[in-house]
Amino acid sequence: MEIENIVANTVYIKARESGGQKKGKSKKWKNYLQFPHYTECLPLKTEIELSYAFIVEKQPIGKLLFHEFCQATNSQYHQCCQFQTKVEEYETSDDDGQSRRDLASAIVSLLHSKPEDNPSCSQDEQEIWCSFLSEEVISTCISTADSATHDDEPRSDIFTEPYRLTCDYLAEEPFKEFVESVYFYRFLQWKWLEKRPVDKHTFRLYRVLGKGGFGEVCACQVRASGKMYALKKLEKKRVKKRHAETLSLNEKQILQRINSPFVVSLAYAYETKDALCLVLTLMNGGDLKFHLYNLMPGGFDEKRVQFYAAEITLGLQHLHSERILYRDLKPENILLDDFGHVRISDLGLAVEIKDNEPIKGRVGTVGYMAPEIVKNERYTYGVDWWGVGCLIYEMIEGKAPFRQRKEKVKREEVERRVREDQEKYSEKFSEAARTLCRGLLHKEPGFRLGCRRVGRPEDGAEEIRAHPFFNTADTVTGREPVPWKKMEAGKVTPPFCPDPRAVYAKDVLDIEQFSTVKGVRLDATDTQFYGKFNTGCVSIPWQSEMIETECFAELNTFYDDDGILVWNLRADGINLEERKNGTSKPGFFSRLFRKKNIEVTKSLHDLSHLGVDPQQPKTSAKAPAVRSSRAASASGRTSMI
């Protein structure tokens, strides 16, 4: 049935091409994302951490709204935000040379500048905007930055200290004012939308992409935003039959904790009548196993191997910093996105290490398990670095270090090779690649590269990042030192980009279907477990989705066409537009506020410090225009990669 596969692929590719664009959204998408009146959202204040570190530094929408608040209310606050943005651009600049020198020069000019011209500025505001920085910090920073403008490759960390102090300043009085403003109420409205229930009607489903351990994996699209994801189904009866409830919940909880561009992210978790559903990052480029054995059967060149190994190392570093051990590193678990960046996927065997205590368990894939796992000994993060060694070896040599592809050999023999045999290196390996693999594939974990430093779990990655394979150039292989800061920001161009018109998955009919599970009944205990699983949106991925698909820019308006504060931020709660058109009766809030002069109106919606009169046009008020939301959205994308 070739026609069925062609149709499925065509529909899927068309959806992919429209993902995140207007044509990918439902015609009723704005109905799905309607803000309630801000008073409905006030209880959320008790559920979130009211701190700068959480709302501004960790919440993408919180950061954009805080910057809008600063721009609209105080020129000094605004220039602090501008300074932050410029430093972030400088540290992650694509060009280590002229571009970074130009940015350094711009930052120096900003440090010398006074608040922007503003008729309402007080005399105090006319002082230099960074007066909260000591003269010593400013002079040292300017001196270092001035010299950087003449360096061939300026250092990336010269503004670290003033950046930190600027964050400390904004976290005090500016943040307190933000929490009392309409911008914070708008943040609560976004959080209210984020916390709404999620079900199967939230998505459109497309072709099956593959199989997981407990069900199919298919492509899906969010109706409201048009964003494409991968939907991993865990069939309820199959999970119960295999007693895998704890395993499934563990994977979901770990995915929910991780927010890394180098690990597949969880965006939604919900349930249907028959399945538990994980909505994950869609990786359209296929897995490394497919590319290694179908497209490049002789192995990759070292430049490409270095790129993949560096991004995998960053992914493991993030997992280890969260005390999470991955335990299943192999080519089929490394996925490529549309642009050629890679992510670690399938965290089904991942486990949290508590108090850095070694754990025990024979889990993993034959040929990739470390010797200590094979010998059933206790282990920690070193088993993941062994996996990196296996992966680098296989990418260069074109085969795994302890087993030939399709070799018919018993598990016991492979495990013996892992315990006893020394891997062999061909002329494909440069000296740096050879020493890296030997260090990672050391039989004794105490001498293994990534395990020699005693300290934080993530220190193992720092040891590997310092290896010459990542930090020296090689004219023969074309390898260059890895610009780690830019790589962390996703600004390093991948050496290979997947074909956007290709579907890197088996034909629909070639994907084996699951058999029906018989003899299993679901009861009240199961329902209780499903409640732990069915948690809806995951905060940071959902907010990033709203920004990337421009839903935030289109909906984040504060004033209507007449210049009056929108009804859902007004104390009286009257929708003037509907009143004008005669399409609605006075609402609940309108009647409520007409009957009583409630004190909460004054205490929670006091805009005097903003100079805002809700009844006056925005030309006479200090408030953001619609375009400022879009501009902030665009700049926010870069700083939140």
* Alpha helix (H) residue ranges in 398-538: 411-420, 431-440, 459-465, 468-471, 484-488, 524-533
Residues 6+ apart with CB under 8 A from 395: 288, 292, 299, 300, 304, 305, 308, 309, 331
Q: Give the relative orientation of helices 160-170 and 135-148 as an angle to the nearest 10 degrees.
A: 140
**C-alpha to C-alpha distances, 483 to 141, 313, 625, nearest whole angstrom:** 23, 14, 38
DSSP 265: P
CA-based torsion, 49, 53, 55, 60: positive or negative: negative
Tokens at 417, concatenated:
């090779």
Tokens at 448, concatenated:
């293994």
Phi, psi of 379 (to 5 degrees): -155, 165
Q: Is 301 left (phi over 0), alpha (psi -120 to 50) or beta?
A: beta
Q: Flag whether 241 is marked binding.
A: yes
Phi, psi of 6 (to 5 degrees): -60, -45
Q: Identify which of 392, 408, 385 has the alpha carbon closest to the alpha carbon of residue 458.
A: 385
Give, rounded to a whole angstrom, the gap between the first and last alpha carbons of the chain.
42
Residues 6+ apart with CB under 8 A from 295: none
* Alpha helix (H) residue ranges in 125-212: 135-148, 160-170, 173-179, 182-194
Catalytic site includes residue 328: yes
Tokens at 106, concatenated:
């711009």
* Alpha helix (H) residue ranges in 222-348: 236-241, 245-257, 288-290, 302-321
Residues 6+ apart with CB under 8 A from 95: none
Q: Which residue in the list 96, 117, 328, 499 is annotated as catalytic? A: 328
DSSP 22: G
Q: Give exposure, 161-195, as e/b (b: 16+ Cβ within 10 Å).
A: ebbebbeebbeeebbebbbbbbbbbbbbbbbbbbb
In the sheet that 266-271 helps form, which strands lie side by side, from edge to edge?
203-211, 216-222, 228-235, 275-281, 266-271, 536-537
Q: Please list the active-site residues.
A: 328
Residue ranges for the binding site for ATP?
A: 241
